[in-house]
Amino acid sequence: MKAIPKIFSTTRNLVYATAILYTAISITNLVVQGMLNKRVKQRDELVTVIKKNAYVEDQVRGISNATKLYRDTKYNNLMISDHLRPLVSVLNDTVEINSIIFKRDDGYYTVNASTNKATSYASMIGKILQNEHIDSMSIEFVDYKAQINKYTAEFKVIIK
Amino acid sequence: MNENVKKQLSSYKRSIENKQFQSSAYTIILIFTIIVFDIFGLQSLVDITVRRFDTLENMNKLIKDLEFKRDNTELLKQKLNDSKYYLNMLEESVPKERKVEKYMVSLVQVAAKHGYKQDKLVIRETRENYVEVRASFKGSTAQLEPFISAIEDQVRLLLVQSIHYSIVENTVDLQVVLRIFYLSR
Tens digit of each residue's pLDDT (9 = 90 or more) over A96-109: 899 999 999 898 99
Which of B69, B77, B152 has its CB closest to that of A79?
B152
Enumerate residue ranges in chain A where pLDDT < 70: 1-8
Q: What is the ipTM of this complex?
A: 0.71
Is A15's CB within 8 Å of B30's CB? yes
Query: Distance between CA atoms of A115 and B88, rounded to whole angstroms?
Result: 50
Query: Distance between CA atoms of B84 and B82, rounded to whole angstroms?
Result: 6
Q: What pLDDT is recorded for position B52? A: 92
3-class SS of residue A114 = strand
pTM of the complete model beyond 0.95:
no
Q: Which is it for the CA torsion B39, B42, B48, B53, positive or negative?
A: negative
3-class SS of residue A10 = helix
Could you give phi then psi for residue A65, rounded to 5 degrees? -65, -45
Q: Name the nearest CA neighbour of B164 among A27, A149, A99.
A: A99
Tens digit of each residue's pLDDT (9 = 90 or more) over B40-94: 888 888 899 899 999 999 999 999 999 999 999 999 999 988 888 888 888 888 8
Is B161's CB within 8 Å of A81's CB? no
Is B148's CB within 8 Å of A80's CB? yes
Task: Spell out where chain B has E strands.
Answer: 117-125, 130-139, 158-168, 171-181
Specify the amino acid at residue A119.
Answer: T
3-class SS of residue A130 = coil
